[in-house]
């Protein structure tokens, strides 16, 4: 579920602690339906050089900034290191990781986006990348030195993110860099405006998070490393918070 933009038509309302929440699998299934059956063409265009609307251009610039920020948290030379691109989408992050010498496993919930990523990958990097579709948290993917998850956890509640990080941490030697939707007044206003995409293209509702409650939830789910904020990227209709867990 890489190449996700965190801007649905409306925000998720806070839920009482006693209320049952949809699990990770249910949320993942909704995201799969959106990206593989509704918005593939939209995302193929957004992640290319094709002309887009002014609103989508701000999203494109924001995503470029976030990708660069996340990559800055990893070594410049990744030769011989295994990296999981968890939610690879159309493959922009995958290509840049491979350019640094990494052996990349690129996975996304959407087979159609994975096909686009594979077609776009420069030929010189093809021996370094394994493309697959399915659950980015699957233990069958093996161990990694680093994990990057750009905008692929933004639809999950704190407990589900904590569980995801705990599972990834057990199989990651060094760094997990991921993003969440920050809880800000501006972002909430954008949610209510609901003007990013036509109604049929709007993404599933994301869940906003503040750092401290998210870190506490991660700890409660078994994350041992420090969950800390890195930097926030804000570009028009794109607002996302980079975070990391270091071994």
Rounded to the nearest 10 degrees, the angle between the axes of helix 158-169 and helix 211-220 is 60
Q: What percent of the chain has pLDDT over 90?
A: 67
Of 106, 246, 70, 72, nearest to 169 (Cα)? 246
| CATH T-level topology, domain 24-246 | Rossmann fold (3.40.50)
Question: Hey, where are the domains in the chain?
Answer: 24-246
pLDDT mean across residues, the chain: 85
Query: How high is the pLDDT of residue 12?
Result: 39
List pLDDT tens digits, range 182-207: 987 766 565 555 544 444 445 667 78
Whether the pLDDT of residue 65 is over 80: the answer is yes
Burial class from Cβ neighbours inside 10 Å (0-12, 13-18, 19+) for residue 210 reads: middle
Q: Check pLDDT > 80 for residue 154.
A: yes
Position 5 pLDDT exceeds 70: no
pTM of the predicted protein model: 0.84
Average pLDDT, integer, range 57-75:
97
- pLDDT for residue 117: 97
Model pLDDT for residues 94-148, shown as the tens digit of each residue: 999 999 999 999 999 999 999 999 999 999 999 999 999 999 999 999 999 999 9
The alpha carbons of the chain give a radius of gyration, in whole angstroms, of 17
- For 11-49, the pLDDT digits (tens) are 333 333 333 345 788 888 888 787 776 778 888 888 998
Q: Tell me, what's the pLDDT at 32? A: 79
């Amino acid at each position: 579920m890489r190449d996700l933009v965190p801007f649905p038509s409306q925000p998720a309302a806070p839920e009482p602690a006693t209320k049952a929440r949809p699990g990770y699998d249910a949320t993942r299934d909704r995201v799969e339906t959106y990206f593989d059956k509704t918005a593939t063409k939209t995302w193929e265009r957004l992640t290319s050089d094709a002309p887009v609307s002014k609103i989508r251009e701000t999203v494109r610039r924001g995503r470029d900034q976030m990708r660069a920020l996340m990559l800055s948290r990893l070594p410049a030379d990744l030769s011989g290191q295994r990296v999981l691109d968890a939610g690879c989408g159309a493959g922009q992050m995958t290509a840049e990781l491979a350019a640094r010498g990494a052996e990349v496993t690129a996975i996304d919930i959407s087979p159609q986006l994975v096909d686009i990523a594979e077609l776009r990958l420069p030929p010189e990097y093809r021996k370094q990348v394994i493309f697959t579709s399915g659950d980015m948290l699957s233990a069958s993917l093996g161990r990694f030195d680093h994990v990057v998850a750009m905008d692929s956890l933004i639809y999950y509640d704190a407990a589900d993110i904590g569980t995801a990080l705990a599972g990834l941490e057990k199989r990651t030697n060094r760094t997990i860099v991921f993003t969440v939707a920050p809880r800000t007044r501006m972002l909430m206003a954008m949610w209510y405006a609901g003007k990013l995409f036509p109604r049929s293209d709007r993404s599933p509702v994301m869940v906003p998070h503040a750092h401290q409650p998210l870190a506490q939830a991660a700890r409660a789910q078994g994350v041992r490393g420090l969950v800390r904020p890195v930097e926030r990227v804000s570009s028009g209709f794109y607002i996302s918070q980079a975070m990391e867990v270091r071994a």
